[in-house]
C-alpha cells in the first residue's frame, strides 16, 4: 500500500547546515558544502529552569521542530507529533551509568526523568503547551525511514497534519566506541494530507536493502554515514533541487523505504 503525503514545512540543523533556507542551495548542489561545528541552540521556548535541564539531542529536536512548524504556519499546539531518534540523549544515559558504578550508586532524579526516550517529546509538549498525542520511537540506522513511515501512516490514517522530528547526536565515550556517530543532525517535517507547499512524497516499504552509498553533493557523504538521521540526505537533496524521482532509504538489513518525490 502506498502512502501519499505533502510536506508543509521543513526544519533542519547539521554541521554547516543552519536551517532550511541556508542549507537548501548546499543540498541542491548549487553552493559548496562547508562543514562548521554545530552548537545545539538553547530552547528559548522553554522556561529557564526547564531550559537548563535539556541536553544536546533534545535541544536539536526542539530547534528543528520550531523551524518546521513556523515554516508550515500551523499552530504548534494543534499538531500530533512523532519523534524518532536512534541514540536518544546519550549524555544523560552515560552519566547515569557512570553514577551507578560509583560507591554509593546514587543517580540524579532530574537525569533519570531526562533519560526517557520521549524526553524531547515531553519538553516539546511543555514548550508549546500541547496536549496532542505524541509517540517516540527508535530504529538504529533505519531510524529516519522508520519514523517517516510511521508519521506518514499517521497522516493517512488520521487525515491531519503531523509534526515528524528526527534527531541524533554522537554518544559520549565509552559507548561511542560501540555505536559510532560522528556528527550531530536533526530534521523536522510537517507532513500533511495530499500535497503541500514544499512538495509531496509517495512512500512504501520495500523488501530490498537500500544502497550503501547514495549519490550526494560533494562533501555530504561523511555526514550521511556519520549520523543515522542524516540517511535522510538523499531525500533532502532531491527536495532542495526540486528533483522528482524515487530512492530507497535504509530501514532494516533486509528492507528499505521507497520514497518518491512528486511535483
Partner 1 sequence: MRPLRITAITATSAMGTGLAAMHETLASRRAGLAPCDLPGMPDGVWVGRVREAEALQPPAPLAAFACRNTRLAELALRQDGFMEAVAAAVARHGAGRIAVVLGTSTSGIEETEQAWARRGQDGALPPYDFARTHDLHALPRYVRARLGLRGPCIPISTACTSGARAFLDAATLIAAGVADAAIVGGADTLCRLTLHGFASLELLAKGPTRPCAEDRDGISIGEAAAFALLERAGPEDAGRIGLLGVGASSDGHHMSSPHPEGLGAVTAMRAALDSAGIAPAAIDYVNMHGTGTRANDAMEDRAIARLFGDAVPCSSTKGWTGHTLGASGALEAAVAAVCIQAGLVPGCLGLARPDPSFVSGVVVENRATRVDRALSNSFGFGGSNCALVIGRIP
Residue 37 interacting with partner 1 (CB under 8 A): no
Rounded Cα–Cα distance for residues 224 and 209 (Å): 16
Asked if 132 is part of the footprint of partner 1 (rule: CB under 8 A), the reply reads yes
Residue 57 in the binding site for partner 1 (CB under 8 A)? no
State phi, psi for 202 to the nearest 5 degrees.
Answer: -110, 125
From the list 7-15, 104-112, 215-223, 238-246, the region that binds partner 1 by CB under 8 A is 104-112
- Among 18, 42, 74, 126, which residue interacts with partner 1 (rule: CB under 8 A)? 126
Alpha-carbon distance of 248 to 203, in angstroms, equals 10
For the CB of residue 73, give the shortest distance to partner 1 in the complex, in Å: 21
Q: Does 49 bind partner 1 (CB under 8 A)?
A: no
Cell of 55: 541536553
Closest CB to partner 1 among residues 28, 135: 135
Cβ–Cβ < 8 Å for 12, 65:
no
Residue 42 interacts with partner 1 (CB under 8 A)?
no
Using CB under 8 A, pick the residue from 37, 129, 218, 263 that binds partner 1.
129
Site for partner 1 in 238-257 (CB under 8 A): 251-252, 254-255
Q: Binder to partner 1 among 149, 188, 232, 236 (CB under 8 A)?
A: 149
To partner 1, the closest distance from the beta carbon of 20 in angstroms equals 26
Q: Of the listed pieces 22-30, 142-150, 210-218, 242-250, which binds partner 1 according to CB under 8 A?
A: 142-150
Nine cell digits for residue 226: 556519520
- Count the neighbouring beta carbons within 10 Å of the beta carbon of residue 48: 8
Residue 114 is a binding residue for partner 1 (CB under 8 A):
yes
b/e sequence 11-34, b meaning 16+ C-beta within 10 Å: bbbbbbbeebeebbebbbbeeebe
Q: For residue 52, count other CB atoms closer than 10 A to its CB.
A: 10
Q: Which is nearer to partner 1, 131 or 212 (CB)?
A: 131
Phi and psi at 118, nearest 5°, equal: -95, 25
Residue 138: how many CB atoms within 10 A of its CB? 15
- Name the DSSP class of 142: G
Q: Does 29 bind partner 1 (CB under 8 A)?
A: no
Of these, 37, 48, 103, 207, which contacts partner 1 (CB under 8 A)? 207
Q: Which three cell numbers stand for residue 257?
A: 523505504
Nearer to partner 1, 23 or 257 (CB): 257
Which residues are 257's β-sheet partners? 205, 249
Q: Cα–Cα distances in Å, from 198 out to 33, 83, 111, 137, 223?
A: 22, 20, 38, 25, 23
| Interface with partner 1: number of residues (CB under 8 A) | 66
Site residues, partner 1 (CB under 8 A): 1, 3, 50, 53, 77, 86, 88, 93, 96-97, 100-101, 105-109, 112-119, 121-123, 125-126, 128-140, 142-143, 146, 149-150, 152-154, 156-158, 173-175, 177-179, 205, 207, 251-252, 254-255
Amino acid at each position: 500500500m502506498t502512502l501519499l503525503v505533502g510536506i508543509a514545512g521543513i526544519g533542519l540543523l547539521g554541521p554547516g547546515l543552519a536551517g532550511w533556507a541556508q542549507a537548501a542551495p548546499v543540498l541542491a548542489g548549487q553552493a559548496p558544502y562547508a562543514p562548521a561545528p554545530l552548537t545545539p541552540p538553547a530552547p528559548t521556548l522553554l522556561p529557564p529552569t526547564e531550559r537548563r535541564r535539556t541536553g544536546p539531542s533534545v535541544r536539536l529536536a526542539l530547534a528543528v521542530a520550531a523551524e518546521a512548524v513556523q515554516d508550515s504556519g500551523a499552530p504548534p499546539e494543534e499538531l500530533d507529533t512523532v519523534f524518532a531518534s536512534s541514540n536518544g540523549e546519550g549524555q544523560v544515559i552515560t552519566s547515569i551509568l557512570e553514577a551507578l558504578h560509583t560507591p554509593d550508586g546514587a543517580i540524579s532524579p532530574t537525569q533519570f526523568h531526562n533519560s526517557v526516550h520521549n524526553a524531547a517529546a515531553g519538553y516539546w509538549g511543555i514548550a508549546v503547551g500541547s496536549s496532542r498525542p505524541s509517540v517516540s520511537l527508535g530504529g538504529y540506522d533505519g531510524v529516519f525511514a522508520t519514523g517517516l513511515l510511521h508519521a506518514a501512516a499517521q497522516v493517512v490514517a488520521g487525515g491531519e497534519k503531523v509534526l515528524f522530528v528526527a534527531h541524533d547526536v554522537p554518544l559520549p565515550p565509552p559507548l561511542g566506541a560501540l555505536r559510532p556517530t560522528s556528527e550531530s543532525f536533526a530534521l523536522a517535517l510537517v507532513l500533511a494530507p495530499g500535497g503541500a507547499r514544499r512538495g509531496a512524497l509517495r512512500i512504501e516499504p520495500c523488501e530490498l536493502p537500500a544502497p550503501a552509498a547514495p549519490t550526494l553533493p560533494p562533501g555530504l557523504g561523511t555526514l550521511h554515514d556519520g549520523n543515522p538521521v542524516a540517511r535522510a540526505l538523499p531525500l533532502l537533496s532531491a527536495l532542495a533541487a526540486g528533483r522528482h524521482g524515487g530512492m530507497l532509504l535504509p530501514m532494516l538489513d533486509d528492507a528499505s523505504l521507497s520514497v518518491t518525490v512528486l511535483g
